[in-house]
A and B are shown apart, each in its own frame.
Chain A
Amino acid sequence: MRDAALDVPLLEAEGLAKSFGGITALEEVSLSVRAGEVMCVLGDNGAGKSTLIKTLSGVHLPDRGRLRIEGQEVRLTSPREARAHGIATVYQDLAMVPLLSIARNFFLGAEPTKGVWPFRRFDMRTADTIVRAELEKMGIRVRDTSEPVGTLSGGERQSVAIARAVYFGARVLILDEPTSALGVKQAGVVLRYILQARSRGCGVILVTHNPHHAWLIGDRFTLVNRGRSLGTFSKEQLSREELVRQMAGGQELEELSHELGEAVRVSSG
């Protein structure tokens, strides 16, 4: 059931470039994501992934290049503006205030209120009901939404952050290394939520250096190296082994394995 609207990308970046002082973080990166699609951005440390995320989510303005949302060119000057356009970003480790309650975290920056100023107040009851329902939908059960977020596991925390973004009407979800700090089981929990967000019609940009996780849920893959995108591949165009090899640095890895082999031989001999 494909209609024409699906072919216009929700978010499209073309030739993004950004440098700080004399240091070039992004030289030329292009990518796009459609509704109901997981686009994986893969790159090693220092490839420019975090600058890319910040440029897509309104933290940085690109020096060059264009951003289009549903075909319309936009300039995102703040995270707030990006959010208004339906772009939500979940940062690794930076998504939550650990000592603050789950409900308060969920609504941070977008608290529901009742009453008129100066008596306008944070509507805790509504917040609590909504958080409970949203987490239930994602299969997270919490005893008490007034518990500090710090009492949740890493995977649950990431999931709450994703649930929050989806709830606030994100159409494009940018995820920064959502599984990198997690064990296998926890990572699985998060990957399932990502698929759930996709099936709700979100376009997901998953930024990661883990090709195994990317391969499990990605529809298309954009490889980034030293601030340049090396092209976008669909799942059919790229085998898992090829993806892993690309990510591991291909040639460099072979050299490294050769070198380590030598070292082992020398030390054991």
Chain B
Amino acid sequence: MRKLLNRPEFGAVGGTAAIWLFFAFYAGGSGFLTWPGTASYLEIASELGILAAAVSLLMIAGEFDLSVGSTIAATGMTISLLCERLGWSLWAAIAAAGVLALGVGFLNGLVVVRTRLPSFIVTLGTLFILSGSTIGVTRLVTGRTQVGGLHEALHYGAAETLFASRIGGFSVSIFWWLALTALTAWVLLRTRFGNWIFGAGGAPDAARNLGVPVARVKIALFMTTALAAWFVATSQAIKFTGTDVLRGTGKELEAILAAVIGGTLLTGGYGSVIGAGFGALIFGMVQQGIVFSGIDSDWYKVFLGAMLITAVLVNSYVRGKVMEARR
């Protein structure tokens, strides 16, 4: 039992069950329990969950990335502009956006490890630079803030199958989410690199003295969060056959919220990818559950905020008890 309590994702798993029961009771009659209802909150959870998996790794390594949302806008718009204005094949545009994302992540990481400034500040700067230039470039080139028509791009069909199709009524992004979460959890818990992530966040000086390449680990993780943003941007651009310059706004905070509900510490060195997955699931359930229960959806953020604070309180209480028990 103590071993179970000891796991960082314990609170999030319990929370997920509680939230599900809550909405099953209040919104069960209005569609929350149906397959389409389930598919709808899983789809919301999946897009956030892909971001949250990467963000939780970065947070365990002791850093933040506030530029995730603006990277979604920038990479999504890159894909749309390259296809719509320059007639690129969709695959080539996706690849180019991927390179852009890797560059953004690399620069974020490099500036953080070189200047030793808090990543909160550095990536806040990146957020504004990226979202500003996305709006600037898009308006300069098209005179608008939305670029559509992606379905006319070369190879759209194949890309749609991969990123935006549905399998048995469930969005394919749900399967991507499960696969990517399994992969990142495996990397964190079962590889050397994973152990270095814990070391880099929990005690960077100790880790460095023991030969862990802390700077490289952090840069790699900033590149991972940027790639996650690129992945979400790609599937959204394809799903909506276009991009809005405001796409992704606020996603960075939602991803941090999911990671924290999942038991990841803001101070680094502790956390769970699986937990972040459950955090994202809670997010999806709340957002859709509110709709199903007929409450004005304007209120879902209130619910989420209360969830966040409750989850953190429960997590830190349980962790304190566990550490105490041995002394």
A122 touches which of B190, B212, B326, B327 (Cβ 8 Å): B190
A79-B191 in contact (CB<8A): no
- Interfacial chain A residues near B190, Cβ < 8 Å: 121-122, 124
User: Looking at the complex, which of A19-27, A98-106, A228-236, A237-245 is the stretch in contact with chain B?
Assistant: A98-106
Does B148 count as interface, using CB distance less than 8 angstroms?
Answer: no
- CB <8 Å contact, B192 and A111: yes
Q: Judging by beta carbons under 8 Å apart, are B210 and A109 in contact?
A: yes
Partner of B203, one of A83, A94, A121, A148: A94
Taking CB atoms, residues of chain A closer than 8 Å to B206 are 91, 94-97, 108
Which residues of A lie under 8 Å from residue B205 when comparing CB positions?
91, 94
Q: Is B323 a contact partner of A108 (Cβ separation < 8 A)? A: no
The answer to the question of A264 belonging to the interface, with a C-beta cut-off of 8 Å to chain B, is no
Indicate if B211 sits at the interface (CB-CB under 8 A).
Answer: yes
Which of A96, A109, A122 contacts B191 (CB under 8 A)? A122
Complex CA gap A53/B184 in Å reads 38
Asked if B115 CB lies within 8 Å of chain A CBs, one says no
Chain A interface: which of B194-202, B239-247, B283-291?
A: B194-202
Task: List chain B residues, Cβ under 8 A from A108.
Answer: 195-196, 198-199, 206-207, 210, 212
Chain B residues closer than 8 Å to A122, beta-carbon distance: 190-192, 194-195
Instruction: Say yes or no: A98-B327 contact (C-beta < 8 A), given A79-B210, A110-B210.
Output: no
State the main secondary structure of chain B at its contact with A.
helix
Q: Once bound together, how far apart are the Cα atoms of A96 and B194, in whole Å?
A: 16
Question: Is A55 close to B, CB under 8 A?
Answer: no
Contact between B323 and A148 (Cβ–Cβ < 8 Å)? yes
Q: Taking the nearest CB of chain A, how far is it from the CB of B206, in angstroms?
A: 5
Does B269 lie within 8 Å of A97, measured CB to CB? yes
A104 B323 Cβ-Cβ under 8 A? no
Q: Given the complex of chains A and B, what is the CA–CA distance between A122 and B190 in angstroms? A: 5
User: Would you call B270 an interface residue if the criterion is a C-beta within 8 Å of the partner chain's C-beta atoms?
Assistant: yes
Contact across chains for B203 and A97 when beta carbons are under 8 A apart:
yes
Is A193 an interface position by the 8 A CB rule?
Answer: no
Q: Which of B156-212 contact A (CB under 8 A)?
A: 186, 190-192, 194-196, 198-199, 202-203, 205-212
Task: Decide if B209 touches A98 in the complex (CB within 8 Å).
Answer: no
- B174 to nearest A CB, angstroms? 24
A97 to B203, CA, bound (A): 5
Which residues on B sit within 8 Å (CB–CB) of A96? Answer: 203, 206
Closest to B209 in A: A79
Q: Which residues of B contact A109 (CB under 8 A)?
A: 196, 199, 207, 210-212
Please name the residue on chain B nearest to A124 by beta carbon.
B190
Whether A107 is near chain B, meaning CB under 8 Å from some CB there, is yes
In the bound complex, residues from chain A placing their C-beta under 8 Å from that of B207 are 97, 108-109
CB <8 Å contact, A99 and B208: no
* A-B contact sample (9 more), CB < 8 A, given A79-B209, A122-B195: A59-B209, A95-B206, A97-B203, A99-B269, A100-B198, A107-B195, A109-B210, A147-B326, A151-B325
Contact surface of A with B, Cβ cutoff 8 Å? 57, 59, 79-80, 83, 89, 91, 94-100, 104, 107-111, 113, 120-122, 124, 147-148, 150-153
Between A and B, 8 residue pairs with Cβ closer than 8 Å are: A97-B207, A98-B203, A108-B198, A113-B191, A122-B190, A122-B191, A147-B326, A152-B326
